[in-house]
A and B are shown apart, each in its own frame.
Chain A
């Protein structure tokens, strides 16, 4: 992890003539790194944004976050254009290269994740836009010999109302580029916003409806070969030996070579490479995990759950309160490993040369791409040029670097540009999975049916131990307990523990990370407490959220819009859940039916979200719809199982996805907020599984305590 944080206290903005004329502004603005905060070091000063204004008046915003569907390629330019008072139809976007200037202030590296794009760019990008506007105004004032405050700006034009003169931004760039850059800028009062808060159409839509959008798999470089890699099916296994003869007989196959992750078959195109890979004969050394199975993993988790774990949160005395409670409730909740299954399989194109390397890659982490290629090639990281393509889905998977390392290794060995392409099977069986966890919960109710004690013990593997070990403190991986340790309910005695155990299945960030499982566990268990105490699940939550106003407000909004408590058509039942993640608050009510065969159908989902100030409300809606489908797919279908150290699922036939005919009607209600923007890409995922599971309880009286939801558990 890049923890070398620049301690300099410079606040400087540099301006220079851009290539091809115009005004180029690079910013160095203060921004605190999450890691720096953790270390209690002073906030470093970080470059954040680039703006280019052409002499034609066109404004190019360089977007330093990866567009993977979440709408950053529109939301981030909106921030700049708002403060610049730019005409929106003059705004263009470019993706940023890998450079220190683009380090994400919330992640401490150039990366897109943790629903941090708008959160992290909210201030720096608006400051960037405001400074550009001030320079353009100053240039106009100078041209006319008037005071800057006698000028007005709107729609990419500066005017001087007293004299009726006007100049477009393009006409002002030459002079503006010679002016000093303001050290301080005024930002608009949100009430003055013209663009922020409006449902602006996405800038990337037109190219996504005619096939012209370029994803990683679509990259074409002259002289490029295509590679597929045959990997050991067992986690941690290696190729002991291989025979390339059969593979090389396939027409179009050029090379067969061993790399760190397996054996690469390199051909003129993908089909030949894949045929070669199928023909390749490899003898595997299966390594230490050849005996690993899902049943064995579960048994180990269950054993570990018998003893105390590291304490993630402790309030009052949960053990004592449990003993003294009028009623005690216990339950075990389990969630499986999950694959990301982005629609675009993993891929990377690399061209390693003597003095540098060019990489074309759908990545969520450009800085890590540079480091990975540098490690593989011995080249300096700065000599690695990263071209970020569109990402055919990310969900955390494209933060990883395995596919980058492969492309770099093969290109280095062959000296030509190489596109390394994963098949769906590769993608499914060599993922960094959402962790499986085992959860032992117990709670105590008083004689009025109110919870007085809550104890939650989590056992499972740790993502951070591999990715950012420095983030693991005192046995706690913050991602393992997020959404559990910060339980929002007013329960006086509370204990949340975590026992780390890594069975050998690689784990990684998966949309909403720890909240993806902990919301299910905590919101279902709370529902159990409501039922045990004879309380309505909505009313009990409301009562226990008196000190959590934003949770409470979205809960009430969702309940009101869903008509909570009002009669439903026969056979339909409601469940509710609320969860905070990435500083946004989401509540959902699911309307569900369960057939006699135990088949669950979700008919309607009402979603209420408070993500603070909204930049693009249509994107917020789209992300809620998206996150609900992602979470619902996992709840109804998602499970990666392991046998003999290998993943048993291989493709969409045995790792099924939610499809059109199973899509519920989703209604999204945005609670207007004045708070700083929260995350939007992930927070819609956590509440859907518990909302559905709680509705199933309402329908059947049966509790879902392990995912995915299984028809055989629900048969009448």
Chain B
């Protein structure tokens, strides 16, 4: 049994320690908002926060999360009220939507550290997350919008 906190809830999971966190979240805990895209940390669809830091859950063994705190898209806010989620809706970012959990979690990790990122900061933080629908321009606009919303500018 490995114990970890997921979205504020204490969880005990029966999984071999090398099982990637992604599959513990999806197959054992039923949190399917975190996506499988590549399995080699090359697309970012599986991005979650581990103690507040964005990580690629497809290559993070669950043992590395033992005793630590994991936040998934389901736990980012209870009500889609996170400024990024609201900005994502305002900018109409998602198309197929499959990568968007990873996009939002990566962006949330960025804003937690850098409340007013430049375009270069966004490039650096977000280039690990692939979107085949090509929503990058709207992702960028939505991050800028969320920053402005926090400042009360929109």
Give the interface of A toward B (CB within 8 A): 67-71, 201-202, 204-215, 217-218, 220, 226, 251, 268-271, 274, 341-345, 390-395, 423-424, 618, 622, 625-630, 633, 651-653, 657-661, 663, 665-666
Contacts and interface: CB of A to CB of B under 8 A. Distances in A.
Contacts of B147: none
Contacts of A423: 39
A516 to B, nearest CB: 15
Given A269-B27, A652-B38, A343 B99 contact: yes
Contacts of A67: 96
Contact of B100 (A209, A251, A666): A209
Given A69-B133, A424-B39, A657-B132, A206 B89 contact: yes
Interface string B96-130: 11111100100000000000000000111011111
15 contacts: A69-B95, A209-B85, A210-B80, A211-B31, A343-B98, A343-B130, A343-B133, A345-B37, A391-B96, A618-B92, A626-B133, A629-B131, A630-B132, A659-B129, A660-B139
B45 interface: yes
Interface residues of B, number: 59
Nearest to B38: A424
Given A211-B72, A226-B27, A659-B127, A652 B43 contact: yes
Contacts of B122: 660
Given A210-B33, A660-B123, A660-B140, A626 B134 contact: yes
Nearest to B73: A211
A70 B124 CA distance: 28
B134 A625 contact: yes
A70 B96 CA distance: 7
A217 B39 CA distance: 14
Which of A342, A390, A424 has the most C-beta atoms of chain B within 10 angstroms of its own C-beta? A424
Nearest to B97: A208
A274 B23 CA distance: 11
A657 B98 CA distance: 16
Given A211-B73, A393-B133, A651-B38, A218 B32 contact: yes
A562 to B, nearest CB: 17
A217 B127 CA distance: 24
B94 interface: yes
Contact of B40 (A205, A220, A651, A660): A651
B38 A205 contact: no
B12 to A, nearest CB: 17
Contacts of B94: 69, 202, 204-205, 208-209
Contacts of B16: 251
Contact of A392 (B19, B33, B42, B98): B98
B80 A206 contact: yes
B64 interface: no
Contact of A217 (B30, B32, B130): B32
Nearest to A511: B132
A269 B19 CA distance: 11
Nearest to A629: B134
A665 to B, nearest CB: 7
A205 B30 contact: no
Interface of B: 16, 19-20, 23, 26-28, 30-40, 42-43, 45, 72-74, 76-77, 80, 85, 88-89, 92-101, 104, 122-124, 126-140
Nearest to B75: A211
A389 to B, nearest CB: 11
A424 B138 CA distance: 26
B132 A341 contact: yes
A70 B95 contact: yes
A211 B98 CA distance: 9
Contact of A625 (B23, B76, B138): B138
Contacts of A226: 27
A622 B138 contact: yes
Nearest to A226: B27
B98 A215 contact: yes
Nearest to B90: A201
A542 B121 CA distance: 42
Nearest to B45: A343
B35 A214 contact: no
Contact of A653 (B40, B88, B135): B40
Contact of A204 (B28, B85, B97): B97
B33 A343 contact: no
B34 A392 contact: no
Contacts of B126: 660
Contacts of B135: 622, 625-626
Given A271-B20, A622-B138, A424 B37 contact: yes
Given A207-B97, A626-B95, A663-B134, 17 more contacts: A209-B85, A209-B88, A209-B104, A210-B73, A218-B26, A226-B27, A271-B19, A274-B39, A343-B99, A392-B35, A392-B97, A424-B39, A424-B40, A627-B134, A653-B42, A661-B124, A663-B140
Given A390-B97, A660-B126, A211 B30 contact: no
Given A68-B96, A271-B27, A345 B36 contact: yes
Nearest to A630: B134
A211 B40 contact: no
A370 to B, nearest CB: 24
B97 A666 contact: no
A211 B75 CA distance: 9
Contacts of A392: 35, 96-98
A661 B104 contact: no
B80 to A, nearest CB: 5
A622 B129 contact: no
